[in-house]
Amino acid sequence: MMTETNEAGIFKQVPSPFCGVGTDDLTIKVEDTAIRVIENGCAVNTPAFEQPLGDLKPRVVGKKVELKDAVDKAAEILRSASLPLFGGLATDVNGMRAALSLADKTGAIIDNMNFGAALRNFLVVHDSGWVNTTLAEVKNRADLLLVVGCDLESLFPRFFERYIWTADSMFLDDTGKRQVIYLGKIPSGFASKSPSGKAAKVLACPDADLPQVVAVLRALVKGAPLNITEVGGISITELQRLASQLKKAAYGVVTWAVSALDFPQAELTVQTLCEMIKELNRSTRCSGLPLGGKEGDQTSFQVSGWQTGYPSRVDFSAGFPEYDPYLNSVESRLADGSGDALLWISTFNVEKTPPKTPVRKIVVGRSGMQFDREPEVFIPVGTPGIDHCGHAYRTDNVVAVRLRKLRESALPSCSEVLSAIEQTL
Amino acid sequence: MIINGVMIDETFAEAFPMKATRVIITAQNSRWAMISAQAMTGFATSVIGCGCEAGIERELTPFETPDGRPGVSVMIFATSRKALAKQLESRAGQCVLTSPTSAIYAGIEDGVPLPLGKSLRYFGDGFQISKKLDGKRYWRIPVMDGEFLAEETTGMKEAVGGGNFLILAESQPQALAACDAAIEIMRKVPNVILPFPGGVVGSGSKVGSKYKSLSASTNDPFCPTLKGKTKSALGPEIESVMEIVIDGLFESAINEAMRMGIEAVCKLGTGNGVRRITAGNYGGKLGPYHFHLREIMA
Amino acid sequence: MLIKLTGGTVYDPKHEINGEVRDLYIRDGRVIEQPSDSKIDQEYDLSGKVVMAGAIDMHTHIGGGKVNIARMLLPEDHRADPACRSELLRSGCGNAAPSTLTTGYRYAEMGYTAGFEPAMLPINARQAHMEMGDIPILDKGGYVMLGSDDFLLRMMAAKKDQQAINDYVAWTIHSAQAIGVKVVNPGGINAFKFNQRTLDLDEKCAHYGVSPRDILVCLATAVKTLGVNHPLHVHGCNLGVPGNKDTTLNTIRAMDGLPLHLTHIQFHSYGTEGDFKFSSGAAEIAEAVNRNRNISIDVGQIMFKQTVTASGDNMRQFANHHHANPKKWVCMDIECDAGCGVVPFKYRDKNFVNALQWAIGLEIFLLVDDPWRIFLTTDHPNGAPFTSYPHLIRLLMDKSFRRDMLATIHSDAARASTLASIEREYSLYEIAVMTRAGAARILGLSDRGHLGAGAAADITVYTERDDKQKMFEKPDYVFKDGELVVRNGEIVKVTWGTTHVIRPEFDPGIEKSLADYFDRYMTMKLGNFKIHDDEIREDGRGNLTVHPCRIGGPA
Amino acid sequence: MSILTFTLRKRPDQRVDMSPLVHNKLAGMPVEEIRTLTLRLGKRRVEVDELFDVHGDPGDRFIIRNSSNKLDYIGREQESGAITVEGDAGAYLGMRMKGGKITVIGSAGIFAACEMQDGDLEIKGNAGDFLGGALPGNKQGMKGGTVLVKGNVGQRAGDHMRRGIILVEGSAGDYCGSRMTAGTIAVMGDTGRYLGYAMKRGTLLLWKQPNVPPTFNDCGSHTLTFLSLFFASMRNSDSKFSDPVAVFNRVRRYGGDMSSSGRGEILVKIG
């Protein structure tokens, strides 16, 4: 589907599978197989789109082979493994469908490369749920944005431009009047500064104090008495003010990025935030906005969710899906030696190579991927949204974007390769 | 039968089934444990007027109580589980919970559970804490003096109420002295209580009354001042009759208490004005338990 | 290939065939007239067996974001009901929020050949189609949700003419690939975003000054004018609120003859009488349905078990979160489009309210006269998982069984219900109307739900038994588009059904204002929002079947 | 007493689901039949005999010799009897056990005593994270019984704990008592950060002064009668908790977690 193009190979309104926030206003110029983002690029999307094509040919133990030979070899590795591990899982909807089908057939364990972080949200959903919102609601309704524990602009460079300091908003007269408050990490740049120059309020604390800072904030929102004057270097007066602002806001939004909450048991901090949001909704409206969606992770969780009931770390070796968010990680199964083959799927980012491991490796990866140690099988595949059509989820999970094909690279899709392996078994 | 000159009537004390429970009250010291126990067992002489019959069974040493503090064992008797539960709840709530430093535990492990801490916990207004230790649940209820501790439940047993005997003496002081002697020894018997004031009934009753609203009235055959006005059961030598009522967990315990009591009374003998022992007998209609005096003393 | 189904007892209400012994012929996936000369390739002796068209569930939450949220919320639900893989079948999980593959298998194993997702948010329609794309065997379709979307409410507040609204509705049906239009708590989901906590039929959304009545009339008019076969599919105001029967009756009155489908009406049929201030409004509701031929309903029967409620109605779901069991729940506001709320629920037969809800559902089933206007649903999974259907059918067909069950529920609820005095028992013919012919008719599926020549050969064959639950649990054969997919209640072949859609005409000029709206307020470009046909077709399994509109035809 | 011994022949590469090997499932089964039961080993199914040398009589006591930390679900849903694990145990040791006793001579992996209902579980070495916790999605962790750990426990001991007692002679990791609904965790050694995080009710009984979280409020010093009962209930345990020296009833009480419902307590020994 090559729409919105003209003679010069210009594509407009191109959606990105890379940034997670569903950017779909990119203008892209394609010359032969070279891609250039010429409008609305950012630090995340531009290099991801412009990554040059690498090898087109698969390799087996470093030697270029035909696709069929690579597929045969991959099938042989999976067939002979006692417990195959499918890692990475950075692909589009169809790629994930094929991966799950193959995992079901080979009795494998699947684990998305970002699930360790995403788990911090999923454990909250499994346990108590949440009250959340999506990007368009933020854009049109949010009068207060509380950013917890992340430097939003380094993760999502265009977030403020696209959703906060927008020219238009259906329900706010002046988007510049939105209150932006950071709790925890300090913003690295000035994206959070309003167009009129109002800087975001920052209540900074080290990550290690964030669990307690958030707990104190929840206690204050509840009106519980506390006999302390500060926590994590933030005065209780400041947190009390924040609690009042949240209660007064007509449509407060609390956002966090689990990838930035990179400390053990961070789900408890997320849960405390989410319970606080629920409590705020007794009198006003307030919603969470978990940000993530890199490397197709939401896509992988969604597809796995509807096909197995679980987002990731599913073990098919019993003949039915078994979920264990701890034992079924690729990392732990490589560490304890129980996983004896690794199928690594990474179609978006050439940097996301498989972990170091002595087990037999098959890599279905974006063309151009480089390895410290050559895997036994490497099958370069196209990137969804560049080399073939597909679907990817954006961070707020309900919105799937239609990815377009921008060039003819002759690379197979991940889904085609995995289906071929399954056929060969 | 005559023991030491004292006539033992050929009759039986007629007792009836009751439901009973026991609780253990502890406190910082034995004095306060006893104060609480006395309050809990106050106004509990007869089920007819008080809703239950209650009494102190005995004092307990720190080695005998669950929490290692001095304690008192208390028993409560009533006619139904429901009535007993209600009395237990209100007495534990009004007399033990309110008593400083107190705690209350089950005195019977098995049997039908009756709520103890289970109902008292609500006093904690949501701040109460439950703990299960050694298979038993306790409630920690925050109170002004610290923390009130109550076991979740205590056990209820089928029991016997209304064991009794009557001491017929030549004078009031002699009758009372005989009661004192009996009670001193009877208090040592486990599993029984003597629910009346000091263990003694000075005004025994018969069933029914000329007044329709009353279910019991004075036991006129045993009232010495009515000897000439009613069909008296008393000989001319009797000037005062006092009764000792015994409620017990088992028939055997009542038996034992009656035997020891009567023995002590008889030991005083006619020299001390004790002339005759008889028992409250309602013609066998009131209850299935019959304590035959002569069998007991045989 | 020519298949002959010989000597079955056929129930085909569209052709008024009520239990007649007939032979059926199938060629190329279709039922055909008896061919004069061809060789029979396969023959099934169905003598003594009951033959019906494949069943159609016209309201079942089988795809879309809220279902996947329900899945993520309930790992314990999946652990309790794992579905093993086999040579033929993929593994998965069942129960309240089953996996997509298991959904397809279990529906087919009960003789169902189509299921329609009733709450497809325009912005989430892509996901709904992708999830439904992973449901094997069944045909699928979705009703696109409107009524709390800011675009519509802005148009209404600006008093845009009905024609423009019609264009917008048609455009949305196209871009979401839908077969009908649903409205959930009209305006209420939107009002909740402005912190309104209730919205009755004539209350106004504070921001837009528009009432649910306005929205219903506007959308029902659009649906009728556009010739969409399925009447506006309405989840009304005040779901679950005692006394909401009056709202429902007023809603019926408000329509003034416009076609309307009131969904899971059980949840909207409550009075406020009695000690519990909760009573059955079934009799009044059924009477209103009987009287108003423009109204159709499905019931949303509840069953006593663990399930999860998943709804677009986050205003009501937020209010219901106190009943969450287990205690976890999700509410979301979604993209200025709508919202969703997911609350696990355990209906208990000893709970007065739950027990009466159960009785109310059955009362409605039994008091509505015309089986062509009432549909058998549990609002899967909101009232109960769809796997409860055979049990529900038995409750409808067997009054002594019904009474036995009635004796087990909360006694005050049993007394408060008229169920004990209702003698009616559904016949096989009526069941076939309700679950096949009627469902196909109300969706405008001319070639489904019947066994006449030209029909798609979606056919279910049962052995008639006294125990109707057993009968409907395990069909002998199920054919999907002429292929045998189930034998003795087990899948023998996995096929992939089509997606039924409708394409009403509209003035493409509407895209101009939409494009501007998308650019200014949405987070997606208009062009990227629309779902293209190849998105459904490209994986080689999905397909689209476009049904004609009945332009100008009577309702 | 009859003893059935399972001696692990060789440390497996794969994790092994040991849940079939509990008394209630094997009662009355001849040893020969037990040897032929199947166990999951990765995606393979193997007979017990391939993994274990099985000896003795199936009675009320099992011994697992040469055990490995890959043996998961030991004693799962055990109703009675005793299992002794010589060596380490894997994950989910004693999950949902309902009675009897399990003793591990070595250490246990994550989620020991997960959703345990009753009985005694003793770990002589260390226990991993989520001791006494709940499976993801389940709201209730350990619901009864007693767990004794002589060594240290990992993070989130007693997460979602609902009832029962966890005794730790060593130290506890961070988030000890997180999201507890009730029950008692007693720790003689150190405790990490974020003690009692999001705790609703329950008791953390500590010998050493912890880092008291900001959402716990000081409730002062008290002599608590219930502690006498608590220690009395320990008198027969083979642990430091039965040592009369360990007994105390005077504590500093901290109430919280005020960010949650705030009905829990941290009790710290005074003196």
Lowest-confidence region among A1-5, B101-105, C175-179, D232-236: A1-5
Q: What is the CATH number of domain B19-157?
A: 3.30.70.520
A217 occurs within a structural domain: yes
Query: Quick check: C522 contacting A, CB < 8 Å?
Result: yes
Query: Quick check: C73 contacting A, CB < 8 Å?
Result: yes
Q: What is the CATH number of the domain that holds C92?
A: 3.20.20.140
Which pLDDT score is estimated for C432? 98
**Considering only CB atoms, which chain B residues are within 8 Å of D166?**
none
Integer Cα distance of C344 and D208 in angstroms: 42
| SS (HEC) of chain A | CCCCECCCCEEEEECCCCCCCCCCCEEEEEECCEEEEEECCCCCHHHHHHCCCCCCCCEECCEECCHHHHHHHHHHHHHHCCCEEEEEEECCHHHHHHHHHHHHHHCCEEEECCHHHHHHHHHHHHHCCCEECCHHHHHHHCCEEEEECCCHHHHCCCHHHHHHCCCCCCCCCCHHHCEEEEEECCCCCCCCCCCCCCCCEEEECCHHHHHHHHHHHHHHHHCCCCCCCEECCEEHHHHHHHHHHHHHCCEEEEEEECCCCCCCCHHHHHHHHHHHHHHHCCCCEEEEEEECCHHHHHHHHHHHHHHHCCCCCEECCCCCCEECCCCCCHHHHHHCCCCCEEEEEECCCCCCCCCCCCCEEEEEEECCCCCCCCCCEEEEECCECCCECEEEECCCCCCEEEECCCCCCCCCCHHHHHHHHHHHC
Which pLDDT score is estimated for C512? 94
Query: Quick check: D214 contacting A, CB < 8 Å?
Result: yes
Q: Residue C361 corresponds to which amino acid?
A: G
Q: How many domains does chain A have?
A: 3
Provide the β-strand partners of residue D103. Answer: D84, D122
Q: Are residues D142 and D194 in the same domain?
A: yes
Tracing tokens 């909360």 back to the chain, one arrives at: C410
* Averaged pLDDT, A205-210: 96
Query: Quick check: D225 contacting B, CB < 8 Å?
Result: yes
- pLDDT of B225 > 70? The answer is yes
Q: Which percentage of chain B shows pLDDT scores above 90?
A: 88
Q: Which residue of D has its CA nearest to C327?
A: D139
Integer Cα distance of C369 and C365 in angstroms: 9
Integer Cα distance of C442 and A403 in angstroms: 35
C554 occurs within a structural domain: no
Integer Cα distance of D152 and D170 in angstroms: 5
Question: A39: how many CB neighbours lie within 10 A of its CB?
Answer: 13
Q: Is B225 helix (H, G, I), strand (E, B) or coil?
A: helix
D151 occurs within a structural domain: yes
List, in order, residues 6 or more apart from B44 with CB less than 8 Å away: B50, B51, B52, B53, B54, B55, B76, B87, B91, B195
Query: Quick check: C9 contacting A, CB < 8 Å?
Result: no
Cβ of C335 within 8 Å of Cβ of A134? The answer is yes
Q: Is C476 helix (H, G, I), strand (E, B) or coil?
A: coil
Question: Which residue out of D201, D226, D235, D241 would a mutagenesis test of the B interface target, given it has the greatest number of B Cβ atoms within 10 Å?
Answer: D226
- C-alpha of D114 from chain center: 7
pLDDT tens column, C404-434: 999 999 999 999 999 999 999 999 999 999 9
Cβ of D137 within 8 Å of Cβ of C327? The answer is no
Q: Are residues A287 and A302 in the same domain?
A: no
Query: Quick check: B295 contacting D, CB < 8 Å?
Result: no
Integer Cα distance of B23 and B152 in angstroms: 12
Provide the β-strand partners of residue D61. Answer: D3, D82
Which pLDDT score is estimated for C554? 38
Q: In chain D, which among 95-154 make CB contacts under 8 A with chain A?
A: 110-111, 129, 136-137, 139
Q: Are residues A145 and A277 in the same domain?
A: yes
Decide if D28 contacts D82 (C-beta within 8 A).
no
Q: How many domains does chain C have?
A: 1
Q: Are residues A317 and A334 in the same domain?
A: yes
Nearest residue, CB atoms, D155 vs list A123, A126, A264: A264
| Boundaries of domain holding A36 | 10-48
Query: Quick check: D179 contacting A, CB < 8 Å?
Result: yes
pLDDT tens column, C447-458: 999 999 999 999
Q: Are residues D117 and D184 in the same domain?
A: yes
Tracing tokens 């029979």 back to the chain, one arrives at: C40
Q: Do chains A and D touch (3 or more CB pairs under 8 A)?
A: yes
Which pLDDT score is estimated for A5? 53
Q: Is C160 helix (H, G, I), strand (E, B) or coil?
A: coil
Query: Quick check: C207 contacting A, CB < 8 Å?
Result: yes
Integer Cα distance of D94 and D77 in angstroms: 7
pLDDT tens column, D29-84: 999 999 999 999 888 899 999 999 999 987 889 999 999 999 999 999 999 999 99
Which pLDDT score is estimated for A23? 87
Give the domain-ending residue among A275, A291, A307: A291
Q: Are residues A324 and A390 in the same domain?
A: yes
List, in order, residues 6 or more apart from A318 with CB less than 8 Å away: C82, D40
Integer Cα distance of C459 and C477 in angstroms: 8
Q: Are residues A125 and A249 in the same domain?
A: yes
- pLDDT of D217 > 70? The answer is yes
Q: Is D86 exposed, middle or buried (0-12, 13-18, 19+ CB in 10 A)?
A: middle
- pLDDT of A2 > 70? The answer is no
Tracing tokens 């167009």 back to the chain, one arrives at: A195
Integer Cα distance of A116 and A262 in angstroms: 9
DSSP D10: S
Assign A7 a pLDDT band (cuts: 50, 70, 90).
low
CB pairs under 8 A between A and C: 199
- Options 3.20.20.140, 3.30.70.520, 3.50.50.60, 3.40.50.300; which CATH number does B2-14+159-297 get? 3.30.70.520
Query: Quick check: A131 contacting D, CB < 8 Å?
Result: no
Q: Residue D262 corresponds to which amino acid?
A: G
Q: Taking all residues of chain A, what is their mean pLDDT, rounded to a whole number?
A: 94
A132 occurs within a structural domain: yes
Decide if C549 contacts A48 (C-beta within 8 A).
no
DSSP string covering B179-219 = HHHHHHHHTTSTTEE--SGGGEESS-EEE--SSTT-SEEE-
Query: Quick check: D194 contacting A, CB < 8 Å?
Result: yes
Nearest residue, CB atoms, D225 vs list B126, B129, B147: B147
pLDDT tens column, D169-199: 999 999 999 999 999 999 999 999 999 999 9
Q: Are residues A349 and A364 in the same domain?
A: yes
* Averaged pLDDT, A11-24: 89
> For chain B, first and last CA: distance in Å?
9
C422 occurs within a structural domain: yes
Integer Cα distance of C63 and C71 in angstroms: 11
Nearest residue, CB atoms, C100 vs list A281, A306, A401: A306
pLDDT tens column, C272-312: 999 999 999 999 999 999 999 999 999 999 999 999 999 99
Question: Which residue out of A80, A102, A115, A212 would a mutagenesis test of the D interface target, given it has the greatest number of D Cβ atoms within 10 Å?
Answer: A212
Cβ of D135 within 8 Å of Cβ of C328? The answer is no
Q: Which residue of A has its CA nearest to C190?
A: A137
Q: In chain B, which among 86-105 make CB contacts under 8 A with chain D?
A: 103
pLDDT tens column, B156-197: 999 999 999 999 999 999 999 999 999 999 999 999 999 999
Q: What is the CATH number of the domain that holds A261?
A: 3.40.228.10
**Considering only CB atoms, which chain A residues are within 8 Å of C75?**
126, 309-310, 323
Decide if D50 contacts D69 (C-beta within 8 A).
no
Question: Which residue out of B129, B138, B151 would a mutagenesis test of the D interface target, given it has the greatest number of D Cβ atoms within 10 Å?
Answer: B129
| Boundaries of domain holding D12 | 1-82
Integer Cα distance of D226 and D249 in angstroms: 8
Q: Are residues D74 and D137 in the same domain?
A: no
C43 occurs within a structural domain: no
* Averaged pLDDT, A122-147: 97
Helix residue spans in chain B (DSSP H): 30-41, 47-50, 81-91, 117-120, 172-186, 251-268, 293-297
Q: Are residues D148 and D241 in the same domain?
A: yes
Query: Quick check: D182 contacting B, CB < 8 Å?
Result: yes
Q: Are residues A318 and A215 in the same domain?
A: no
Query: Quick check: A152 contacting D, CB < 8 Å?
Result: no
Q: Are residues A96 and A214 in the same domain?
A: no
* Token pair listed for B294: 């002569």
> What are the residue ranges spanned by the domains of chain B?
2-14+159-297, 19-157
**Considering only CB atoms, which chain D residues are within 8 Å of A222?**
258-259
Which pLDDT score is estimated for B111? 92
**Considering only CB atoms, which chain D residues are within 8 Å of A271?**
198
- pLDDT of C107 > 80? The answer is yes
Decide if A300 contacts A292 (C-beta within 8 A).
no
Pairing of strands D203-206, C374-375: unpaired
Decide if D41 contacts A337 (C-beta within 8 A).
no
Chain D residues with CB under 8 Å of a chain C CB are 135-139
**Alpha-carbon separation of residue A132 from A286, B246, C336 (angstroms):** 8, 70, 13
Which pLDDT score is estimated for B298? 87
Q: Are residues D59 and D155 in the same domain?
A: no
* Token pair listed for B229: 């006005």
Q: Are residues A277 and A308 in the same domain?
A: no
Q: Which residue of A has its CA nearest to C122?
A: A399
pLDDT tens column, A30-48: 998 899 999 999 999 999 9
List, in order, residues 6 or more apart from D62 with CB less than 8 Å away: D3, D4, D5, D6, D21, D23, D81, D82, D83, D84
State the nearest Cα–Cα gap between B142 and chain D, in angstroms.
11
Query: Quick check: D198 contacting A, CB < 8 Å?
Result: yes
Question: C314: how many CB neighbours lie within 10 A of its CB?
Answer: 29
Give the domain-ending residue among D48, D82, D116: D82
Cβ of D226 within 8 Å of Cβ of B147? The answer is yes
Query: Quick check: D222 contacting B, CB < 8 Å?
Result: yes
Q: Are residues D157 and D28 in the same domain?
A: no
Q: How many domains does chain D have?
A: 2
Assign D236 a pLDDT band (cuts: 50, 70, 90).
confident
* Averaged pLDDT, C37-51: 93
State the nearest Cα–Cα gap between D152 and chain C, in angstroms.
30
